[in-house]
Amino acid sequence: MAAFTIEHDSTAEDLFIIYDYFRISYNSEENCYGLLNKHNSWEKEGPKEGEIIEVLNEENDEWKKYRFSRLYYIDDRSKWYLEVLKEEDDDDDDNGKDKKIKDIEGLKVRKRII
């Protein structure tokens, strides 16, 4: 089970129990992806499809919610990518495109526990 902390989210009125921050990582010894927590302990179980995760936007230091879709590897680039879906439909005129692709190198992800 992942370690967790209690952290105050200044954008919310309540305290939330939040998993320690994760970086999605590929473990070559296990030949699969997982999560590194802030203590650099590798966790084999990553997010599940459809699960709400939050991804840190380092430009404005804000967490944005998404639904986890999948992780995949592109051989040509030798990189892992995270595919997420918008958490909920918004009014942006994006022509129905609700997928976001992110390079996972250095990406910070967290999950809330209710």
20 phi/psi in degrees, rounded to 5: -55, 155
More confident residue, 13 or 34: 34
Residue bearing the bigger pLDDT, 81 or 8: 81
Q: pLDDT tens digit string along 47-104? A: 778 888 888 888 898 888 899 888 777 888 887 788 889 876 555 545 546 888 887 7
Which structural domain range is residue 11 located in?
4-113
Query: What is d(CA 67, CA 78) in angstroms, rounded to the nearest whole number?
Result: 25
Could you tell me the two tokens for 104? 């996972």
Q: 21 or 6, which is more confident?
A: 21
How many residues are given for the chain? 114
User: Measured between alpha carbons, how far is residue 104 from residues 22, 74, 114 in Å?
Assistant: 11, 12, 26
Give the model's pLDDT for residue 20.
Answer: 52
Query: What pLDDT shows up at residue 6?
Result: 47
What's the structural domain count of the chain? Answer: 1
Residue 90 has φ and ψ, to the nearest 5°, of -120, 180
